[in-house]
């Protein structure tokens, strides 16, 4: 039995480490093992339940390292559920660091909603990872 | 004091009714009144906390009726939190009904994640509404 994750933050760190290291085994430990899970990655269709594991097996079996810098927007904990609103900035290897005054490497940041649940001795696991598209460029007219 | 919502489903119904009726007062009752809320609507940047109310005041102050047909994908309830994964299909007035065999009016469905929380006597309220983009057209190559 792998060691359970003791906090939502441990699960979150493992999620982004698994992406960066293309570590499928770690990624499988991150996710809750019920049909309650869902995931939306950028440029992917939204998937629910068992499709989530298939998505990550396909993604991490590839050659792309996905190194994401995460900053926290707001955290909520309600009993055995934790919601982390975060901002993600992709840091693809080979891209030069941003110059002073730039928003960062030319890759606009995304928001993500990460939700974790605690199940007794099994500890915390991820049940939702849902990305937003990047914000529209400054100067776009507001929607009507 | 307005009557509290007694179930997550009552909140969900009120959310989509408020969109359809452009009912700002009802929409304000739908949302939890803490900084814990977040919303992503199609073609909009993701917003958190108090920005959510401003988004809906601007949206519902316009002239667009937003009539959405909702079907359930999966529901989860964990203590005082309920997560509803749903599929949304916009039903803009004036669009002819889909002919037999069509996927429906030419508007591709979206997924949404709706999260509700219970706060004692205050009943249930919405803390997250996050849409997905539509699925890519069939036949697109899988991501690598």
**Per-residue pLDDT reduced to its tens digit, A24-70:** 999 999 999 999 999 999 888 999 999 999 999 999 988 877 899 99
Does residue A122 fall inside a structural domain? Answer: yes
Q: Is residue A88 predicted with pLDDT exceeding 50?
A: yes
- pLDDT at position A102 is 45
Residue A15 forms part of a structural domain: yes
B21 domain-assigned: no
Interface of A with B (CB under 8 A): 35-36, 38, 40, 43-46, 48-49, 58-59, 62, 64, 73-74, 76, 78-81, 83, 85, 111, 113, 115, 117, 127-128, 130, 132-133, 135-136, 142-144
Within a domain: residue A66?
Answer: yes
Reported as a single tens digit per residue, the pLDDT across B73-84 is: 999 999 999 999
- Mean pLDDT in residue range A91-115: 65
Q: Is residue B118 part of a domain?
A: yes
Confidence of residue A2 (pLDDT cuts 50, 70, 90): confident
All residues at 6 or more sequence positions from A81 whose CB lies less than 8 Å from its CB, including other chains: A115, A116, A117, A118, B78, B79, B81
Confidence at residue A139, expressed as pLDDT on a 0 to 100 scale:
59
Q: Given pLDDT bands bounded at 50, 70 and 90, which one contains residue A140?
A: low
3-class DSSP state of A114: strand
Q: How far apart are CA B17 and CA A132, in angstroms?
A: 25
A32 part of a folded domain: yes
Find which of B65, B118, B127, B133 to mutate to test the A interface (most A CBs within 10 Å of its CB).
Answer: B133
Residue A101 pLDDT greater than 80, yes or no:
no
For all residues of chain A together, what is the average pLDDT?
86
Phi–psi pair at B95, nearest 5 degrees: -85, 135
Query: Are A64 and B136 in contact (CB < 8 Å)?
Result: no
Question: What's this model's pTM, rounded to 2 decimal places?
Answer: 0.85
Taking the C-alpha atoms of residue B70 and residue B16, their distance in angstroms, rounded to an integer, is 9
Q: Are A87 and B22 in contact (CB under 8 A)?
A: no
Q: Is residue A143 part of a domain?
A: no
pLDDT in the model for residue A99: 47
- Looking at the structure of chain B, the number of domains it has is 1
Residue ranges in chain B modelled with pLDDT below 70: 1, 92-106, 135-144
CA distance B98 to B113: 25
Range of the domain at A26: 8-93+105-131
Confidence (pLDDT) at A136: 61
In a domain, B72, yes or no: yes
How far does Cα A114 stand from its chain's mean position?
6
Residue A5: the pLDDT is 98
CB atoms within 10 A of CB B15: 24
> A42-80 burial, b for 16+ CB within 10 Å, e for fewer?
eebbbbbbeebbebbeebbeeeeebebeeeeeeebebee
Report the alpha-carbon angle A29-A30-A34, nearest 5: 85
State the pLDDT at residue B1: 64
Mean pLDDT for the stretch of residues A101-117: 77
Q: How much is the pLDDT for A83? A: 98
Rounded CA gap, B136 and B110, in Å?
A: 11
- Residue A80: which CATH number? 3.10.450.50
Give the ranges where chain A is alpha helix by DSSP (H).
8-21, 24-30, 51-60
- Using the predicted structure, report yes or no on whether residue A112 has a pLDDT greater than 90: yes
- Supply the pLDDT for residue B95: 43
């Amino acid at each position: 039995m792998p060691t359970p994750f003791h906090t939502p933050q441990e699960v979150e760190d493992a999620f982004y480490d698994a992406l960066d290291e293309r570590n499928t085994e770690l990624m499988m430990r991150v996710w809750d093992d019920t049909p309650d899970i869902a995931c939306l990655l950028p440029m992917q269709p939204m998937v629910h339940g068992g499709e989530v594991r298939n998505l990550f097996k396909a993604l991490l079996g590839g050659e792309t390292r996905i190194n994401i810098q995460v900053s926290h927007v707001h955290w909520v904990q309600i009993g055995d559920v934790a919601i982390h609103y975060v901002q993600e900035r992709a840091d693809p290897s080979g891209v030069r660091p941003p110059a002073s005054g730039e928003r960062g490497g030319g890759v606009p940041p995304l928001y993500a909603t990460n939700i974790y649940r605690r199940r007794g001795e099994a500890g915390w696991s991820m049940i939702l990872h849902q990305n937003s598209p990047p914000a529209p460029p400054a100067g776009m007219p507001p929607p009507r």
